[in-house]
Amino acid sequence: MATGYAYNPVYLKHDTGGHVENAGRLKAILSQLERTKIIEQLTHIPPRPATVEELALVHDGQYIAGIKAVVEKGGGWLDGDTVTSSGSYEAAVYAAGGAICAVEAVTGGEVANAFALVRPPGHHATANQAMGFCLFNNVAIAAKYALTKLGLERVAIIDFDVHHGNGTQDAFYSDPQVLYISTHEYPFYPGSGSTGEMGSGAGKGSTVNIPLPAGCGDAEYLQVFEQIIVPVVRRYAPQLILVSAGYDAHWSDSIAMMEVSVTGFARIVEIIRGLAEELCNGRLVSSLEGGYNSEALAASVKATFDVLLGNTGIEDPLGPPPQRSRSPAISDLVESIKKLHSLA
């Protein structure tokens, strides 16, 4: 069965100027997919704008109206990191809608798996606050849609962006219907994501945070996936896996201090795809989050599609870190998280 991609040129209308999260990111990805002819192997999923009702599955109505009002006046800065333009509201509702459409295509059997190539990103956006370049929480909205509109009962979200997805965590902190797992550099923006943040009430234990020290690369990430994420997801047995796919943990990305390679990201996606095939009939939807070195981002997304398509021979034009620093010791951290979540 086919692999889908959700994309609409409207995402380029979120004009952030010289901001690190800019339209050039998607242009680089599309150029890479077209140059390598991978796009010819993909099924296009036309996004639609999310409705206010769908946005309100996660966000306060007053917040949604406030974002629209700012944008209708020409845009501006919402905080020190997050800027909008006159096209930002349209792009943002289409970003949330793109994630929803990808979920509908996968759960409806139109494609085996899908990647929503959207912007602005979403995982930092809370119910009533824009932050970290994010306006609406695309993955959280898609998860809520799957639960409330499509009749699913258990959704897993795996977030491998280098930053903790505080907004996604907040949306489901007390909700046992969503398993939220995050690997992230720590301590780092936005400051959340400690191991002790495990959910509350009925959702206790359904939030799994894996805060990693700077300098972690392929070996450390694969250790975490194999020893923590795989057993946690297997135990949860989701009916759908969503991925907050941020590639800013790449060694060449100046926004963070991790050392993952394109090959490492491909292996991560391979593990996640294997879980989806084992547990939920292959139902897997990724949504683009971070990644700010255009070459690394485009190559990593292309490698992701290769894995989703089942293509062999991953291309890694940037290779491993040129001078790998001493590998951080994370075995004690891994063991402590396994103990916290009863995996030991």
Question: What structural domains does the chain harbor?
Answer: 3-340 (3.40.800.20)
Question: What are residue 222's phi and psi, to 5 degrees?
Answer: -70, -35
Min mean pLDDT across 1-5, 52-56, 108-112, 150-154 is at 1-5
Q: Tell me the mean pLDDT in the region 152-175.
A: 99
Q: What is the CA radius of gyration of the chain?
A: 18
| Confidence band of 323 (pLDDT split at 50, 70, 90) | confident
- pLDDT attached to residue 129: 98
Unique residue bearing structure tokens 């505080």 = 166
The answer on pLDDT for 307 being more than 90 is yes
Cα(199)–Cα(206) distance, rounded to whole angstroms?
6
- pLDDT attached to residue 320: 95
* 40: nearest Cα among 281, 305, 278, 263: 305
Cα(167)–Cα(314) distance, rounded to whole angstroms?
32
Cis peptide preceding 187, ω within 30 of 0: yes
Mean pLDDT (the chain) is 97
What is the separation of C-alpha 279 from the centre of its chain, rounded to a whole number of angstroms?
Answer: 20
Q: Tell me the mean pLDDT in the region 42-70.
A: 98
* pTM assigned to the model: 0.98
Q: Tell me the mean pLDDT in the region 264-275.
A: 98
| Confidence band of 104 (pLDDT split at 50, 70, 90) | very high
**113-116/83-84 β-pairing:** unpaired
| 102: CB partners within 8 A, 6+ apart | 4, 6, 45, 114, 115, 116, 142, 285, 287
Q: Tell me the mean pLDDT in the region 259-287.
A: 98
The answer on pLDDT for 324 being more than 90 is no
- pLDDT attached to residue 175: 98
| 141: CB partners within 8 A, 6+ apart | 50, 54, 55, 57, 58, 96, 99, 100, 122
Percent of the chain with pLDDT over 90: 97
Active-site option among 124, 163, 184, 250: 124
| Confidence band of 344 (pLDDT split at 50, 70, 90) | confident
Cα(100)–Cα(140) distance, rounded to whole angstroms?
10
For the segment 25-47, what is each residue's pLDDT rounded down to a tens digit? 999 999 999 999 999 999 999 99
Q: Is the distance from CB of 169 to CB of 192 less than 8 angstroms?
A: yes
For the segment 176-223, what is each residue's pLDDT rounded down to a tens digit? 999 999 999 999 999 999 999 999 999 999 999 999 999 999 999 999
| Confidence band of 10 (pLDDT split at 50, 70, 90) | very high
- pLDDT attached to residue 306: 98
For this structure, is 124 an active site residue?
yes
Q: Tell me the mean pLDDT in the region 106-134.
A: 98
Cα(171)–Cα(194) distance, rounded to whole angstroms?
17
The answer on pLDDT for 326 being more than 90 is no
The answer on pLDDT for 325 being more than 70 is no
| 82: CB partners within 8 A, 6+ apart | 130, 131, 132, 133, 134, 135
For the segment 121-156, what is each residue's pLDDT rounded down to a tens digit? 999 999 999 999 999 999 999 999 999 999 999 999
